[in-house]
Every structure is written in C-alpha cells, then in structure tokens.
C-alpha cells in the first residue's frame, strides 16, 4: 500500500488509514479516564483533580500559504484553538513547530508569524514554546507549521462529539464552504474575480457564549470533509440521526456559483471558522440569540434536530428528503 492524497483528506479513506495503521500499532492511547486517541475526537484530555487539560495538534500543509482571507499563520493558530474550543475547553497556550524550506523569504515568514500573533491576541492565547527547522530546496514545499494547543475545562464539563441527545437542536454558526471554495477558486485562477474569502477565524467567543447558556451537549468544527463529514461524525458517534432543513444552511452566493462551476459540493469542503453544536431543545433559541451577537456568529442558524433515525437526512423546503453521506475524501486537497 502507498499513501495517496486522499489519505490526508479527512474522509472515509483517511479514517481507514488511521484505524489500520495508527490505532492498530499504538498500544498506550489514553491517560487515566481522559479522552484518548481511540476516541478520535477534536482533542484529547488528561484529567487532573478538578480540571481536565485538553490537548490537540494539527500539521498545516495548506497551498498556497497566502490565500484570500488569511494565511497559514492565521490558519494554524485558529485551527488549533478551534479544536480545543469544541471540546468545551478554554484555549490557553500553543506550541509552534515550523519546518521551513531553504530560501524561503524572511518577510513572508515575518508576516506569517504576525498573523499567528494577531489571532493569539484576539483570543488571549499565548505561544509558549516552539521549534524551527529548515530543509533543503527541493525537499519541502515552502513550509509546514505544526501547532499544538492546550486548554482547560472543569472536570466533567468536557463536550464530546458523541454526546448528542434525542431532540437536541443543531446550531450552525454561519455559512459553509467559504474556505474550501475560496482556495479552490484562487487556485483555478479566478479568485480575484469573486469576493469569496476564507472564513478562517477563531471560534472561541462563539463557543464560550454558547456554553454560558448551559444547553450545549456536543460540538465539532466542520473542517476537512466539511459540514457533511461533521454532521455524520456527531450523528454516528452519538448513535442518533439528524434531520437538517436544507434551506436553513447559510451559503454565500459566490460559494454557490463556484461550486456549480467546479462541480464541487459546498457541504463537503472545509470550513475554518465555523462550529456545529447540539443544544438542548429548551435552550436552543436563547443560545442562538447569544451566538448571533458574537463577532463571527451573526449568521448562525438552527439548521435541524436530533432524531431516532441513524442517518443524516437533508430536507428541502418542498419536502424532498435525501441522505447526506460523509464524503470519501474532501474534494479540495491541501486545504489546511
Ligand atoms: Mg476539529
């Protein structure tokens, strides 16, 4: 077997690789009764008395490094903060490892580091340790940034992607497809003809606001594999179905245009500044109202609810229903 691009594309193919090569060959996969590797959640945890330390790591290989709406620096910090946040933990600190190609422009590196710092300042997160390596020309495509994040949550308050309850409402914090479609259209050369921008942003404010209302049961950030993958993951892991009202899913005009032009499903491409959450039915409206007041949550919607069915069902305004499957792989490669 040889590794292909789809093995890193956040769908079924990648899941198989993780199970067959990683999980099978690693014996020690959790600390005490924390969230471990086998759980395949957005992050893992180490329980320590009244608290749990949440940890998550991400290697960033995005191409190009600078794209409409952001760069690899902003992406690497926001992406890691978001994985900590959707565990219900307050993000605190980042470890940052950079592998840079020989000959890489120093000014670009500085811009990237400044982008990292901006997101950190916005969210009150610190970069407290790191590592810098350089590889020869021709052996690396520009740079790889690996960020590891640490967060804290009170013991017992961690949010899992498997903890939806029957009857919960599903809140989506904003439009989907922006990141994947912005990258794709930029690569195809018509990026500047649209005003399509990546949604890359830290979602901690949205998450913290939602947690304060007390109704959140489960969360996930719909990154690789998009909304389709994230909805299927929380549904499968919770052993419950979802009924999603398609008209409630926010989609920007240029995203629809680009997806039609390229034949790519906007529900299957990555988002980098969004969150989906299950919220107790009684607190869903209140939570939505609170999220709408946050910087990145103004387009949030209740898009559906948790059902006894085992599938994710999309229902159109005219009553047509179809099963929304998880993608085999994200159709846009090197997206984060
Ligand atoms: Mg995630």
Residue 13's SS3 state is: helix
Taking the centre of ligand 1 as the mean of its atom positions, its distance from the CA of residue 161, in whole angstroms, is 10
CA of 222 to the centre of ligand 1 (A): 7
Count structural domains, the chain.
Answer: 2
Q: Verify that 174 and 116 share a domain, yes or no.
A: no
Question: In terms of domains, do 230 and 109 share one?
Answer: no
Distance 25 CA to ligand 1 centre (A): 23
What integer pLDDT is reported at residue 94 of this predicted model? 98
117 CA from centroid of ligand 1 (Å): 21
Whether residue 173 is found in the same domain as residue 317: yes
Query: How many Å lie between the centroid of ligand 1 and the Cα of residue 9?
Result: 13
| Residue 120 included in any domain | yes
Cα 186 to ligand 1 centroid, rounded to whole Å: 24
Distance 75 CA to ligand 1 centre (A): 13
Domain-ending residue, one of 105, 122, 154:
154
Distance, CA 269 to ligand 1 centroid (Å)?
13
Are residue 206 and residue 143 in the same domain, yes or no?
A: no
Question: How far apart, in whole angstroms, are the C-alpha atoms of residue 313 and residue 140?
Answer: 42
Centre of ligand 1 from the C-alpha of residue 103, in Å? 32
Let me know if residue 136 belongs to a domain. yes
**Which of 218, 204, 215 minimizes the C-alpha distance to 294?**
204
Same domain? For 142 and 201 the reply is: no
Tokens of 247: 């008209």
- Give domain status of residue 95, yes or no: yes
Q: What is the 3-state secondary structure (H, E, C) of 262-313?
A: HCCCHHHCCCCCCCEEEECHHHHHHHHHHHHCCCCCCCCEEEEEEECCCCEE
Q: How far is the CA of 230 from the centre of ligand 1 (A)?
A: 9
pLDDT the model gives residue 191: 56
* pTM for the predicted model, two decimal places: 0.95
Give domain status of residue 197, yes or no. Answer: yes
* Ligand 1 center from residue 84 Cα (angstroms): 8
Cα separation, 84 vs 72, in Å, equals 18
DSSP letter for 195, please. -
Neighbours of ion ligand 1 (CB under 5 A): 42, 83, 221
Give the end of a domain, one of 154, 179, 204: 154
**pLDDT at residue 11, as a whole number:** 79
Q: Are residues 192 and 224 in the same domain?
A: yes
Specify if 14 maps to a domain: no
CA 15 to centroid of ligand 1, rounded, Å: 14
Tell how far the Cα of 160 is from the centroid of ligand 1, in angstroms: 11
In a domain, 329, yes or no: no
Please tell me the distance from the alpha carbon of residue 77 to that of residue 258, in angstroms, as a whole number. 27
CB contact at 8 A, 246 and 318: no
How much distance in Å is there from the Cα of 27 to the middle of ligand 1? 23
113 belongs to a structural domain: yes
Asked whether residue 291 falls in the same domain as residue 189, the answer is yes
Domain boundary at 95, 122, 154, which?
Answer: 154
> In the prediction, which pLDDT does 192 show?
54
Pull the structure tokens for residue 67: 């794209």
Same domain as 216, residue 123: no
| Per-residue tens of pLDDT for the chain, all 336 residues | 899 998 988 778 888 999 999 999 999 999 999 999 999 999 999 999 999 999 999 999 999 999 999 999 999 999 999 999 999 999 999 999 999 999 999 999 999 999 999 999 999 999 999 999 999 999 999 999 999 999 999 999 999 999 999 999 999 999 999 999 999 988 888 755 667 999 999 999 999 999 999 999 999 999 999 999 999 999 999 999 999 999 999 999 999 999 998 899 999 999 999 999 999 999 999 999 999 999 999 999 999 999 999 899 999 988 899 999 999 888 888 899
State both tokens at 107. 């000014």
Residues 293, 189: one domain?
A: yes
Question: Domain residues for 225?
Answer: 169-323
Same domain, 132 and 255: no
Question: Is position 54 within any domain?
Answer: yes
Q: How far is the CA of 324 from the centre of ligand 1 (A)?
A: 19
248 and 127, same structural domain? no
Pairing relationship of beta strands 51-60 and 44-48 according to DSSP bridges: antiparallel
Whichever domain contains 197, its CATH number is 3.90.650.10
Whether residues 221 and 256 fall in one domain = yes
How far is ligand 1, taken at its centre, from the CA of residue 209, in Å? 19
Ligand 1 centre distance from Cα of residue 270 (Å): 10
């Amino acid at each position: 077997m040889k590794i292909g691009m789809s093995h890193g594309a956040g769908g079924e193919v990648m899941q198989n690789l993780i199970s067959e090569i990683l999980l099978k060959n690693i014996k020690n996969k959790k600390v005490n009764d924390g969230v471990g590797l086998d759980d395949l959640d957005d992050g893992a945890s180490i329980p320590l008395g009244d608290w749990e330390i949440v940890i998550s790591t991400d290697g960033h290989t995005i191409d190009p490094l600078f794209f409409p709406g952001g760069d690899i620096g902003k992406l690497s910090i926001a992406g890691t903060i978001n994985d900590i946040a959707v565990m219900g933990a307050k993000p605190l600190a980042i470890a940052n490892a950079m592998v840079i190609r020989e000959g890489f422009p120093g000014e670009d590196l500085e811009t990237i580091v400044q982008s990292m710092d901006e997101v950190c300042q916005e969210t009150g997160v610190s970069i407290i340790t790191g590592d810098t390596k350089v590889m020869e020309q021709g052996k690396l495509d520009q740079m790889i940034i690996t960020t590891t994040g640490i967060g804290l949550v009170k013991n017992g308050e961690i949010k899992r992607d498997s903890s939806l309850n029957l009857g919960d409402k599903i809140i989506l914090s904003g439009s989907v497809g922006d990141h994947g479609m912005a990258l794709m259209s930029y690569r195809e050369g018509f990026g500047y003809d649209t005003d399509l921008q990546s949604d890359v942003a830290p979602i901690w404010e949205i998450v913290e606001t939602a947690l304060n209302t007390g109704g959140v049961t489960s969360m996930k950030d719909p990154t690789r594999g998009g909304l389709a993958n994230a909805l299927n993951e929380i549904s499968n892991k919770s052993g419950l179905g979802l009924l999603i009202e398609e008209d409630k899913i926010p989609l920007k005009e240029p995203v629809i245009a680009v997806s039609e032009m390229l034949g790519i499903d906007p529900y299957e491409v990555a988002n980098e500044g969004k969150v989906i959450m299950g919220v107790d039915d009684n607190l869903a409206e209140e939570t939505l109202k609170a999220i709408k007041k946050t910087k990145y949550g103004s387009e949030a919607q209740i898009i559906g609810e948790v059902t006894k069915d085992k599938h994710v069902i999309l229902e159109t305004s005219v009553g047509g229903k179809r099963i929304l499957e998880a993608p085999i792989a994200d159709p846009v490669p090197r997206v984060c």
